[in-house]
Amino acid sequence: MRLSNVTLSIISLFIVNTRARVVNCTSDAEIYPAGINRSQCYQNYLKRLVVFGDSWTENGDGPLTQASYLQDGFLGRAVNGPTWAEYLTVENGIDLYDFAVAGATANNTNVPRGIPDVQQQVQQYLTYTGNASLPSASTLYAIWIGVNDIHDIYTNNNASDQRAAKVEIAAESVLNAVNTLYQKSKARRFLLPATPPIGYLPILTNGSSSAHHQPADELAKSFNHRVKHYLAEFRKEHQDAEIQTFNSYSYIMDIIKDPTEYGLKYSIEPCTNLVND
């Protein structure tokens, strides 16, 4: 699995959608635009990717065609190009089961939002499969969550001790989702990208490179640390589980610091205005 080819969205937008999207590898040629390196279907030991998360992962709810990716402001998605999950599945020739919902958090009780949180997304997946188990050896489960949790915890004027407690609950909620998948869906292979440096999100910086990024970033770092700790403890108790993390925090920070190295001109300015466009 070529994680070095994972392409990540830079901007998290908040578009509500609750429909899961399943794309079979055999349909990729009709759905995705040119420019993605396609592999033959089902040649790897992995056959499918099941994802949960927010707008960084959601693949929308409208009909997907190659023309869809050429439209500006493609509705139902936070990007008018393929998401990281779509790149990963197409380049590895596997199916995509996408249950992510834009604007989602790890735990709605902890950070209230009227959008299915990760645990609810997992329940939607279990309902979709009828509580049956996909083959554990050839199915990878990915959970990328936290940016909306940290954003709300940071912006809602919580006291420092309240922030710490909410970060802890959010991290525990990620572990709970992993455990639910392990117990109820017999999931054994997991991928968990880290929460990015949200202090640089356009919604917080308004495009200013001089904005004070550290407080929000420290919350993101704390969340990432707690998730890694819980996953390590989980792995000790479940030796048959394979858990991979991806340091998307550092990866995206590199893009922010040197956008031209990645073919970009700007790295902290929004490419579109969600409110006015």
What does the DSSP 8-state code read for residue 131? T
Task: Give tens-digit pLDDT for 199-233.
Answer: 888 778 765 665 667 888 999 999 999 999 999 99
Distance CA 205, CA 154 (A): 13
Distance CA 80, CA 59 (A): 10
Distances (CA, A) of 181 to 131, 142, 144: 10, 11, 15
Helix (H, G, I), strand (E, B) or coil at 244: strand
Angle at 32 between CA 27 and CA 33, to 5 degrees: 140
Helix (H, G, I), strand (E, B) or coil at 207: coil
Q: Is residue 14 part of a domain?
A: yes
Q: Is residue 69 part of a domain?
A: yes
Domain residues for 255? 3-262
Q: Is residue 273 part of a domain?
A: no
Q: Counting runs of H as helices and runs of E as strands, what totals does the chain give?
A: 8, 6
Q: Is residue 87's pLDDT more than 60?
A: yes
Q: Is residue 60 part of a domain?
A: yes
Do residues 36 and 90 touch, judged by C-beta distance below 8 A?
yes
- Residue 5's pLDDT is 36
Which of 63-72, 74-83, 170-179, 256-265 has the lowest average pLDDT? Answer: 63-72
Place of tokens 């197409």: 90
List alpha helices for 42-117, DSSP H.
84-92
Domains in the chain: how many in total?
1
- Residue 215's pLDDT is 87
- Residue 249: which of 206, 190, 192 has the closest Cα? 192
Amino acid at 134: L
Strand order in the sheet with 48-53: 21-23, 95-98, 48-53, 139-144, 189-193, 242-246
- Residue 107: which of 115, 95, 99, 98 has the closest Cα? 115
Q: Is residue 53 part of a domain?
A: yes
Mean pLDDT, the chain, integer: 85
Task: Give tens-digit pLDDT for 238-272.
Answer: 999 999 999 999 999 999 999 999 998 888 877 76
Q: Is residue 103's pLDDT more than 70?
A: yes
Taking residue 10's Cβ as centre, other Cβ atoms within 10 Å add up to 23
Over range 189-206, report the average pLDDT. Answer: 88
Helix (H, G, I), strand (E, B) or coil at 250: helix
Q: Is residue 28 part of a domain?
A: yes
Q: Is residue 169 part of a domain?
A: yes
Highest mean pLDDT among 13-27, 170-184, 191-205: 170-184
Q: What CATH number has the domain bearing residue 200? A: 3.40.50.1110
Name 17's Cβ contacts closer than 8 Å, sequence gap at least 6.
58, 60, 61, 76, 101, 102
Estimate the share of the chain in helix, then strand, then coil, as percent rounded to the nearest 5. Answer: 40, 10, 45
Highest mean pLDDT among 46-55, 75-84, 124-133, 198-207: 46-55
Do residues 57 and 98 touch, judged by C-beta distance below 8 A?
yes
Q: Is residue 271 part of a domain?
A: no
- Residue 204's pLDDT is 80
Helix (H, G, I), strand (E, B) or coil at 169: helix
Confidence of residue 15 (pLDDT cuts 50, 70, 90): very low
What does the DSSP 8-state code read for residue 33? P
Distance CA 115, CA 126 (A): 18
User: In the chain, what percentage of residues exceed pLDDT 70?
Assistant: 82
| Better-scored residue on pLDDT, 69 or 175 | 175
- Residue 18's pLDDT is 39
- Residue 9's pLDDT is 35
Highest mean pLDDT among 6-15, 23-32, 234-243: 234-243
- Residue 101's pLDDT is 93
Amino acid at 170: A
Distance CA 178, CA 192 (A): 10
- Residue 20's pLDDT is 65
Q: Is residue 14's pLDDT more than 50?
A: no
* Termini Cα distance of the chain: 37
Taking residue 33's Cβ as centre, other Cβ atoms within 10 Å add up to 14
| Better-scored residue on pLDDT, 71 or 53 | 53
